[in-house]
Structure 1
Amino acid sequence: MASLHESLNKFKKQQEKCQSTLTSIAAKAGSSRVATNYKATTASTSSSTNTKSPAPAVKFSNDTERLQHINSIRKGPVGAQIKRVIDLLLETRQALTPEQINEVCYVDINANKAVFDSLRNNLKVHYDGRCFSYKSKHDLKDKNQLLILVRKFPEGIAVIDLKDAYPNVMEDLQALKSAGQIWLLSNFDSQEDIAYPNDPRVPIKVDDDLKLLFRGIELPRDMIDIEKDLQKNGMKPATNTAKRRAMAQVHGIGSKPKPKKKKHEISKRTKLTNAHLPELFKNLNVPSS
């Protein structure tokens, strides 16, 4: 019995020793696993941090392009800024303050003394101390005022001086012409249209005899002779042919020879539509068949 009891105690001690060994091994393995997991987690975090996409670039405001455009206008030449303002005043036909002008066409009049002074003294601009407005050469509002003005100039008034009177002035000029109330003729020198009054109260009737006499006048073939005749009658020619020809010779430009008229002869193939009037052909040389 004693030996059996000793064997049991020895077995228990071995079991306790094995249990202690297994516990220590398990503890070491757990700590190692935790360390390994920590290292893996740390490495993964570090790797994800390093491979993280860069922050998006800062986007400029969508208004940047407009601000650059405004800056280029304000830094531009004074003449260009004045033109922008005058074009605005002409288009709107309204009296605008400097603030309103700046808001619409980006020209800061108050901040640019050169622009302000030039506009204030411009012939096309009216300044009342507060607002700027467009000033045309002739202050007209409608077609009736336009007709009254043209009738004040029997020698004619240049259309270029009327173009900016009010927006549809050109349409009214054409309407007055169609109605026979004015004439629109081109100036020979400047090639600009001139408006002349046509008073219907003084109609002029020309006799047929005078018309035939006028049409029967044979003009000289050379332009120099025409100019001399005009000067004899106290009129100033619109051209100077002698001077023009002299200048052409200086520059080596010869006068164009007049093309010779081709002489038409009657042949066998000619169809005589007026054969019943033999006197028309008495002076013609008809070749014999």
Structure 2
Amino acid sequence: PQSIDQIAQHLGLDMKMDEELFKKVSSNTKIIFDPENVTFTYKPEHDVKSKQDLLDLLQRRRLEGGGMLVEDFKDSYLNIKEAMAELEKEGKILIVRKKDGYPRMLFYNDTVYNTPMDEQFKELWNRYKMPMETEIVAELEAAGHRTVRVRDSGPRKNEAQMKRGLTRARKVKLTNTHLSGIVDLSKDYAPPGK
């Protein structure tokens, strides 16, 4: 929490003198104003102050339909990276990373879905290698199958529309015959008096 004097000292703005500024700052949705102590506190998007708060929020979010972007926590909790690393190491959360390894999304790891796998099944799964796309095409052709060409899925014009598109608009010469005796139309218009 910051007092009015601390804010004035930091920013060089005296909110005691500027009543309109004081009203705007105290009614801002991103700021919590405490009228008793006359202090202001920044209100982050998510109220996460500890590793447990982060875990609880992700657990609630799981019921609402998924994970959360790491960017949403940038102004919430200073030690977010350490908390994420610890929770991932403990197996409580799952982290989806970008190509550069930077965390992108966080998900609660529901242990209900962590079922044990048979070792023989794991071995068979890891032994099987997916063939390259070109090999699949060759095998299908060897088996007597043909490849299907992909048609353009866009809307098609019918013949009438195509014929109409080919006709060109005729040039029409417009003349202001009703002004022929009043104004010389060969000159640019200039308002009178200039």
User: When the two structures are superposed, what TM-score results if normalisation uses the length of structure 2?
Assistant: 0.52
Give the aligned partner of residue 188 of structure 2.
none
Matched, 1:197 2:103: no
* Structure (1/2) with the larger strand percentage: 2
Q: Which residue is equivalent to 1:108?
A: 14
- Percent of aligned positions with the same letter in both sequences? 24
Number of equivalenced pairs: 126
Verify: 1:145 aligned to 2:53, yes or no.
yes
Separation in structure 1 between the aligned mates of residue 108 and residue 41 of structure 2, nearest angstrom = 30
Opposite residue 82 of structure 2, the aligned amino acid is E
1:123 matched to 2:29: yes
Q: Which of structures 1 and 2 has the bigger CA Rg?
A: 1
State the distance in 1 between where 2:68 and 2:133 align.
Answer: 31
Correspondence for 2:41 among 133, 137, 147: 133
SS of the aligned residue for 1:137 comes to: coil
CA drift of 1:156 comes to: 0.5
Q: Displacement of 1:135 after TM fit?
A: 0.8
- Which aligned pairs between 1:24-63 and structure 2 lie closer than 5 A? none
Report deviation, 1:117: 3.4
Shift of 1:212: 5.3
Change (3 A) 1:220 1:186: farther
Is 1:179 matched with 2:90?
A: yes
The amino acid that maps onto 1:123 is T
Of 196, 216, 219 in structure 1, the residue corresponding to residue 130 of structure 2 is 216
Corresponding residue of 2:172: none
SS for the counterpart of 1:153 is helix
Counterpart amino acid of 2:59?
A: R
101 and 192 in structure 1: CA distance in 2 versus 1, 3 angstrom threshold: same
| CA distance in structure 2 between the aligned counterparts of 1:98 and 1:220, rounded to whole angstroms | 69
Report the AA paired with residue 178 of structure 1: K
User: For the residues of structure 1 that align with 2:11 and 2:67, how far apart are their CA atoms?
Assistant: 38
Whether the 8 Å contact between 2:95 and 2:103 is mirrored in structure 1 is no
Hey, what does 1:78 align to over in structure 2?
Answer: none
Q: Partner letter of residue 216 of structure 1?
A: M
| Structure 2 residues not aligned, in runs of 5+ | 136-152, 154-194
Residue 162 (str. 1) matches residue 76 (str. 2): no
Matched position secondary structure for 1:148: helix
- Residues 115, 218 of structure 1: alpha-carbon distance in 2 compared, 3 angstrom cutoff: farther
> Does the 8 Å CA contact 1:150/1:156 hold for their aligned counterparts?
yes
Shift in Å, 1:150: 1.2
Question: Could you say if the C-alpha distance between residues 216 and 113 of structure 1 is closer, same or farther in structure 2, counting changes exceeding 3 Å?
Answer: same
Taking the aligned partners of 2:16 and 2:8, their CA distance within structure 1 comes to 9
Alpha carbons of structure 1 residues 125 and 205: separation in structure 2 relative to 1, 3 Å? same
SS at match of 2:46: coil
User: CA, structure 1 residues 113+174, in 2 after alignment: closer, same or farther (shift >3 Å)?
Assistant: farther
Q: 1:201 to 1:119 in 2, by over 3 A?
A: same
Q: How far apart, in 2, do the equivalents of 1:113 and 1:187 lie? A: 47
